[in-house]
Structure 1
């Protein structure tokens, strides 16, 4: 544990606190890339800890994410189906996702985003969400925000299993050891469900199963130098529906998707009184195969996406009030399908200079990215925070974001080599009391993001373009502009020693702003105007019994850019309970969608009805 102690000490010494109190313990990595106190940044950041993740119960991470402001999710069918996370109205592919510091996006996917349907909440210790563009620190993809997930670091053994609706089972085991200067944690799990028909009109259940494993560890080489590594692997099979003849409408089919994801990172950390360095090499590899048994066992389409990344980041504190964060990286990405293999590289460097005084913090920075296919892009960002009192602060930020075209958008059958990066400018300002996990928290934030050069698919049946002369059906092009603006409200209170309640509300106005576009002024697809989650937990005096519940409400939206297909709003209620048998063993259960509401998040796709689950946890 020597390295962790040195790191914590160096951060505290180098960064005098803005405010005294519980907020001092809120540490984030999404603001600047290395550990930093949340109240030392003007950016909008929320953190969910292990206790809350465990209280929500089950492998479905979406129910944890929906507790955060600015978040909406859509899912194609049941557990394991494609799950897209939208932050403040951004596209699901415009959010950077990190797991144990590793970028996990599928570079072979058309939009190059991350599918949260393949990531289980089991085994996670912390979820961090930064809302707003932050490409200065994180580069491509960080238009809507950044999500950082951290797996558990434990001593001993933890195990959990649950069973419930649709013959669903989830099991997870985690174990770890730690000593003077070293630590190792590892875990694995299995989830399966019979599911229900992906197609809302279908009757054939579409199931999902996943095997997964992860590990992370560190060892102190000297008092200042530490080696560390992390890895994660999953193997999933998902039944999917399609468009069978003769009607070619969305309906039951025997098709399935096989996915294998492997992510790993190894590196070295150096820490002294004024300098922190984190260097490493990471690998992300995602392989997908699509099979229709009607036509045989061979895949009818397969993709391989691979990204290798060498990086170094750090911070230097020349004097007590000044901290300079910096970094450089080089990424090699590769996309392969039945038509061949394409490659690209991206080299980047950034610097973020900050003044961190008592009660006031201000930081600003620049980044340059050079892509082998389209050239260089500059990005700027700045943020500040001012403490009105020990627990009350004002904060504001401006951030720019960009997202490089994916290799699929550049080189597939629908590719366009002339694509430019998507760009964004993001603004927010707010006032906040306390922190999300303290005794009392209240926050009000206003935000706006303008996005240009949005990449979308264009049908050759609707336009005349030289790209269509080779007989293709369509192509990708920079065709859109959009604006998303609104407010976020967060409330949380420990009303007594036994009762805690919290709420998150988002008012979102997300509209197409494309000059002369057919959809100009329309709402962006699948962006509800209102979204709110209210949660409460009561620790009863009866043998440690805990009762809790969540209410998730979203308003109406549209499924398409033309606003022709409406999606009705809905309210879902989950109730849950847990009971410790002794210090090492606990039983729990929950009922999701208590009222059996029939709803949609994507038009044409089914959703689960009332569902009950029971489980147990053990710690040794």
Structure 2
């Protein structure tokens, strides 16, 4: 039954393939624009680009980033425990450290994490206005950490008062308050949100683990802008979050008293000045994180990251372009308590040229000079051609690199009787081709993407069976071949259907084994509806079998239902049911997921 549902999802997706999650019944697809490309680009013309807007997040009832990123084809979201467990994203089979995460343009990847990956477990979406996903190597735009791609979050600008409250299963309570004022000259807003739950056992309860593991997280932030004149503008934001989670660890995973605490903040300040025919942006962004684990082997890790950037944007005839320079510095602690610093200086340029009304070409080039691992030049070129009948053919070729992380650079937790190998950056190349289509009336649209991603010199934590030495080394070669299908249909009477499917053949080319925690088949279908007073969405998501540490995690199908009833223009009642069919499943082998759970709430807007 699970296999038939999964294949049905795939077949439906093939019939309606589409390039974005953000739609409006009266808006053509070409109005969906992505900005993480440094120069604004139409999603339909940009291979691997997707946008999830605030309306879609609200319609789906997504509370955390992991709740909705799993519906993006090509993204594999895993978490070790339902509430507060480590949540990471693999893009097109690449390991989590190869996904660059930005919040308002600030890179927030954890420099102290062994692979430099970002933990999405406490990333609450109440303040998020937009999520942009760029799959495939994006090092020509953003440098290191972007071999798999980029996930960019943009926070909201509030005009008025917003409040939400919700309660439900597992003694879960959630609240949010935001207020602000905005006009053409200035805007300022602030928000705070809180989530608390008694949770379930992080270890799979079916294996005799009854202890509930709770999770608490609080997020607060401010955002503002001010226009001194038409030519001089300032803007900035700051975001802070603190989380406490009960954990279960061990081999096999079982109930214990382990806990973790994490605190993170990020922010940016930017000045925009028009001069010499260009729009100049001078920005400083920073992120800081501290993680503590309380267990039989306690640890404390701290990391911070700063980026100093100048970018100039301009137009010349049929060309739109941007160029600039930046300096990025990161510092992270290791197991000894020492701190290690890494840095990179870069110059970059990207441009789009409208060859004709039907054809556009975009290219980018970047030179990164690392303080410790040499220099690297990466590039990307893409093209989009508008065919007759509403079809768009597009394709891209790009390269990427990832410098060793702090832990890898000093070989933290390594043991060797001989000198450790000298590491070099991981490199990647990728090619993809996409065919998109939109009906003349805008009711149907879709896109199918075919890609290959190669990663060379992948760094792994290597065990030498002959000498019993453990160290990092460049030994792995991986390849991911995949197909991504997406679609949307406006069905009338307020109903719409969104479909997504991904086939991912991710392989370790050194051993021939499948890459861990990357399902070969994954898909989702969302039926949404919007009426005068009631709105909502039913989402069904399926994943095939997945190779994991210690075995194979079984396939599963799960469904979520979210609704809202508008009492007045200012007040709405909300309700959602997760795991509608009470499916017993695991996202990661050994870690349980909640059964059927229900939540009700109220939403105020003034």
| TM-score normalised per structure 2 | 0.90
- Checking the alignment, whether the CA contact within 8 Å between 2:158 and 2:179 is kept in structure 1 is yes
Question: What is the rounded CA distance, in whole Å, between the counterparts of 1:573 and 1:500 in structure 2?
Answer: 17
Q: Corresponding residue for 2:163? A: 159
- Checking the alignment, whether the CA contact within 8 Å between 1:21 and 1:391 is kept in structure 2 is no
Q: How does 1:567-606 map to 2 (within 5 A)?
A: 567-606=553-592
Residue 273 to residue 371, structure 1, CA distance change in 2 (3 Å)? closer
Please say if 1:150 is aligned against 2:154. yes
- CA RMSD across the alignment: 2.1
5+ residue gaps, structure 1, are 1-19, 469-473, 515-519
- Checking the alignment, whether the CA contact within 8 Å between 1:21 and 1:390 is kept in structure 2 is no
5+ residue gaps, structure 2, are 1-25, 415-419
Q: Secondary structure at the match of 1:116?
A: coil
Please say if 1:302 is aligned against 2:303. no
Q: Corresponding residue for 2:327? A: 330
Question: What is the rounded CA distance, in whole Å, between the counterparts of 2:30 and 2:62 in structure 1?
Answer: 30
CA distances 1:372-413 after superposition (whole Å, capped 9, x unpaired): 111111112101111114843111001111111101111253
Q: Corresponding residue for 2:32? A: 26
- Checking the alignment, whether the CA contact within 8 Å between 2:421 and 2:473 is kept in structure 1 is no
358-367 vs 412-421, which moves further = 412-421
Q: Corresponding residue for 2:537? A: 548
2:42 equivalent among 33, 37, 41: 37
Q: Corresponding residue for 2:257? A: 254
Q: Corresponding residue for 1:503? A: 499
Please say if 1:204 is aligned against 2:211. yes
Question: What is the rounded CA distance, in whole Å, between the counterparts of 1:608 and 1:273 in structure 2?
Answer: 58
Q: Corresponding residue for 1:172? A: 176
Q: Corresponding residue for 2:368? A: 369
184-193 vs 412-421, which moves further = 412-421
How far is 1:615 from its partner? 1.2
Q: Corresponding residue for 1:378? A: 377
CA distances 1:308-362 after superposition (whole Å, capped 9, x unpaired): 1111123222x22112221211111111244311112111111123312422111
Question: What is the rounded CA distance, in whole Å, between the counterparts of 1:368 and 1:559 in structure 2?
Answer: 37
Q: Corresponding residue for 2:128? A: 124
- Structure 1 runs of 4+ with >6 Å offset: none
2:522 equivalent among 511, 516, 531: 531
1:480 equivalent among 476, 481, 486: 476
Please say if 1:228 is aligned against 2:235. yes
1:215 equivalent among 202, 218, 222: 222
How far is 1:606 from its partner? 1.4
Question: What is the rounded CA distance, in whole Å, between the counterparts of 1:531 and 1:58 in structure 2?
Answer: 19
Question: What is the rounded CA distance, in whole Å, between the counterparts of 2:455 and 2:603 in structure 1?
Answer: 45
Q: Corresponding residue for 2:107? A: 103
Residue 512 to residue 380, structure 1, CA distance change in 2 (3 Å)? same
How far is 1:42 from its partner? 3.6
How far is 1:93 from its partner? 1.5
Q: Corresponding residue for 1:429? A: 433
Q: How does 1:301-320 map to 2 (within 5 A)?
A: 301-317=299-315, 319-320=316-317
Q: Corresponding residue for 1:78? A: 82
Q: How does 1:351-366 map to 2 (within 5 A)?
A: 351-357=349-355, 358-366=357-365
Q: Secondary structure at the match of 2:492?
A: coil
- Checking the alignment, whether the CA contact within 8 Å between 2:59 and 2:536 is kept in structure 1 is no
Q: How does 1:457-468 map to 2 (within 5 A)?
A: 457-460=461-464, 462-464=465-467, 468=469
How far is 1:614 from its partner? 0.9
Question: What is the rounded CA distance, in whole Å, between the counterparts of 1:328 and 1:184 in structure 2?
Answer: 29
How far is 1:34 from its partner? 3.9
Question: What is the rounded CA distance, in whole Å, between the counterparts of 2:242 and 2:604 in structure 1?
Answer: 25
- Checking the alignment, whether the CA contact within 8 Å between 1:414 and 1:476 is kept in structure 2 is no
How far is 1:545 from its partner? 2.0
- Checking the alignment, whether the CA contact within 8 Å between 2:105 and 2:285 is kept in structure 1 is no
CA distances 1:478-532 after superposition (whole Å, capped 9, x unpaired): 1101110111111101111411111011111111101xxxxx2211111111111
Residue 42 to residue 211, structure 1, CA distance change in 2 (3 Å)? closer
Residue 147 to residue 412, structure 1, CA distance change in 2 (3 Å)? same
Question: What is the rounded CA distance, in whole Å, between the counterparts of 1:139 and 1:310 in structure 2?
Answer: 13
How far is 1:250 from its partner? 2.8
How far is 1:62 from its partner? 2.0
Question: What is the rounded CA distance, in whole Å, between the counterparts of 1:193 and 1:222 in structure 2?
Answer: 47
Q: Secondary structure at the match of 2:199?
A: strand
How far is 1:211 from its partner? 1.2
- Checking the alignment, whether the CA contact within 8 Å between 1:270 and 1:276 is kept in structure 2 is yes
Q: Corresponding residue for 2:9? A: none
CA distances 1:173-203 after superposition (whole Å, capped 9, x unpaired): 1222112311112211001111111122422
Q: Corresponding residue for 1:471? A: none
- Checking the alignment, whether the CA contact within 8 Å between 1:595 and 1:610 is kept in structure 2 is yes
CA distances 1:261-294 after superposition (whole Å, capped 9, x unpaired): 01111111134694222221111110011123xx
Q: Corresponding residue for 2:7? A: none
How far is 1:444 from its partner? 0.9
